[in-house]
Copies of this chain bind each other. A is one copy, B any other.
Amino acid sequence: MAEKRWAFEDFAEGTSISLGTKHVTAEEIIEFASEFDPQPFHLDEEVGKAGILGGLSASGWHTCCMFMRMMCDAFLLDSTSQGAPGIDHAKWRKPVLAGDTLSGRSTVLARRTSQSRPRLGFVTCRHELFNQNGETVFELQNTGMFMRRSAA
The reply on A91 being an interface residue by CB < 8 A is yes
Q: What residue in chain B is nearest A51 (Cβ atoms)?
A: B82
Contact with B along A63-81 (1 / 0, CB 8 A): 0111011001000110001
Taking A39-B77, A39-B83, A86-B90 as known contacts, 13 extra A-B pairs with beta carbons closer than 8 A to each other, sorted by chain A number, are A35-B69, A36-B68, A36-B69, A37-B68, A37-B72, A38-B72, A38-B77, A39-B81, A52-B82, A60-B84, A60-B86, A84-B92, A86-B92
Residues of A in contact with B (beta carbons under 8 Å apart): 35-39, 52, 59-61, 64-66, 68-69, 72, 76-77, 81-92
Name 30 interchain pairs, CB-CB below 8 A, sorted by A: A35-B65, A35-B69, A36-B65, A36-B66, A36-B68, A36-B69, A37-B68, A38-B69, A38-B72, A38-B77, A39-B72, A39-B76, A39-B77, A52-B82, A60-B84, A61-B61, A61-B64, A61-B65, A83-B92, A84-B92, A85-B91, A85-B92, A86-B89, A86-B90, A86-B91, A86-B92, A87-B90, A87-B91, A88-B89, A89-B89
